[in-house]
């Protein structure tokens, strides 16, 4: 009986722990060359974050703000003629043109660095 209670308490604690953000190592292999980099999605208790990829610098960029502040507003919206979807664009620090956010690692279908659809994303750091 005591073991069942301990097991239930451990299960309750383990499932109640959640992280607001995660840093992933992305590994992509193209033509025998392996490319690896880190990218972070989400924020923590004290901050929120949007992630985007800047094609001009070929780097991921981040827009962060305090949790207590209002979320940033998009600076523009574009309409996709193929899907009919409207994509919001945000101004990221140090980037000339506004960019669409990448909401999560699951939403990233193509490696922006290599252009490959065949890549692996391994969670490495949890942000709380």
One-character DSSP codes across the chain: -HHHHHHHHHHHHHHH---SEEEEEEEEEETTEEEEEEEEEE--SSEEEEEEEETTTTEEEEEEEETTSPPPPPSEEEE-TTT--EEEEEPPTT-SS-EE----TTT--S-TTT--S-EEEEEEEEE-
Residue 13 lies in a domain: no
Strand partners, 2: none
For 50-90, how does the pLDDT look when each residue is reduced to its tens digit (9 = 90+)?
Answer: 999 999 999 999 999 999 999 999 999 999 999 999 999 99
With a cut of 70, say whether residue 45 has pLDDT above it.
yes
Residue 1 lies in a domain: no
- Please give the tally of structural domains in the chain: 1
With cut-offs at 50, 70 and 90, classify the pLDDT of residue 4.
low
Residue 37 lies in a domain: yes
46 or 16: which carries more pLDDT confidence? 46
- pLDDT value of residue 1: 57
- pLDDT value of residue 16: 38
Residue 24 lies in a domain: yes
Residue 54 lies in a domain: yes
Q: Are 111 and 28 in contact (CB under 8 A)?
A: yes
Query: Chain-wide mean pLDDT for the chain?
Result: 87
Q: Which structural domain range is residue 37 located in?
A: 20-127
For 12-21, how does the pLDDT look when each residue is reduced to its tens digit (9 = 90+)?
Answer: 444 334 457 8
């Amino acid at each position: 009986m005591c073991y069942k209670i301990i097991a239930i308490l451990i299960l309750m604690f383990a499932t109640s722990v959640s992280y607001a953000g995660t840093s992933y190592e992305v590994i992509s292999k193209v033509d025998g060359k392996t490319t690896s980099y880190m990218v972070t999605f989400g924020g923590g208790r004290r901050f929120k974050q949007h992630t985007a990829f800047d094609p001009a610098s070929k780097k991921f960029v981040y827009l962060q703000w305090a949790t207590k502040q209002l979320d940033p507003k998009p600076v523009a919206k574009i309409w996709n003629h193929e899907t009919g979807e409207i994509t919001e664009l945000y101004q990221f620090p140090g980037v000339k043109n506004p960019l669409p956010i990448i909401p999560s690692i699951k939403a990233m279908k193509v490696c922006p660095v290599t252009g490959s659809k065949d890549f692996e994303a391994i969670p490495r750091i949890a942000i709380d």
